[in-house]
Amino acid sequence: MGKTFTYALSALVVGIFCGWLIGGRQEVQIKESIKYVYRSATKIDTDLFPEPIKVERIDLPKLQYHDTVFVQVPADTTAIINDYFKRREYNLDFSTDTTGIYKLQAIVECNRLKSASATIIPLQREVENTVVKVRKFRPFVSGGVAIGDKVGASLGLGGIIKEKHIVSVKAMRIGNGNYYGAEYGYIIGK
């Protein structure tokens, strides 16, 4: 057992030293996270008594009547005048999840736009870079006991390389026999 254990221990020490030389102690990785935040500054524009840019009269299309039927329709002049002088306030929300908040408040009176104001809060893309230090080599020691028909014990020495590869050397004693071995593993999903 002495010679084989010495060889296994020597191989482990050489493997750890080579892993340290190849990989170094730590590796820097930059992880990028993107989040969307509302900018704190808001823009509010108010325009009192806006003037129209263009006013056009729309001509009705000429219709040809084959039969003329006169129907007397009552006209409520008071209702028409009251409707004309009504003040209408509109709160329009054009906000979306991708562009931000856009709200428009408008007041219409006497069939004219009296005032309009807008609240704009744009949605900004914010990128954060996080520096993560990953150890290139982490040594470990493992041990185990088996109880059954034969009693056994194991001792392992190894290391995790770049958080992905697991390399170890094991010495096992099962019953009266000594066994030696090496293991390799790969971490899935990181």
Tell whether pTM > 0.85: no
| Percent with pLDDT over 70 in the chain | 71
pLDDT, one tens digit per residue, over 74-91 is 778 888 888 888 888 999
- pLDDT band of residue 137 (cuts 50, 70, 90) is confident
pLDDT at 28: 64
Neighbours of 56 (CB within 10 A): 6
Distances (CA, A) of 20 to 11, 13, 110, 185: 14, 11, 83, 18
Q: What is the mean pLDDT of residues 45-66?
A: 68
Question: Is 70 exceeded by the pLDDT of residue 21?
Answer: no
pLDDT at 7: 64
Neighbours of 32 (CB within 10 A): 8
Q: Can you say whether residue 67 is alpha, beta or left, with left for phi > 0 and alpha for psi between -120 and 50 degrees? A: beta
